[in-house]
Amino acid sequence: YGRNIIIESYLGDLIDLEGWSEFNGMFTLDTLYYAKYANRGSGGSEKGRVKWPGCYVLTNAAEVQSFTVESFIN
């Protein structure tokens, strides 16, 4: 199981255009949740990204609210 959410970050050209790579085969694709929201930089582009189930591009601020620091710290 994996959950990664990248929010409002600078992603430079160090980030591969596919965005993610397989980890010991494709079996993990059934349990992952990878999401991006409002990132910038050449590595932040959505062009050429993998099209796996479980990979999301979030477009609404309300969608990412539960993943922000404010939701974890009072």
Structure confidence by residue, pLDDT tens digits, 16-49: 777 666 666 666 778 889 999 999 998 888 888 8
Contact by Cβ (8 Å): 52, 32: yes
How far apart are the C-alpha atoms of 56 and 54, rounded to whole Å? 6
Kindly state the average pLDDT of the residues 52-57.
88
pTM: 0.77
Q: What is the pLDDT of residue 20?
A: 67
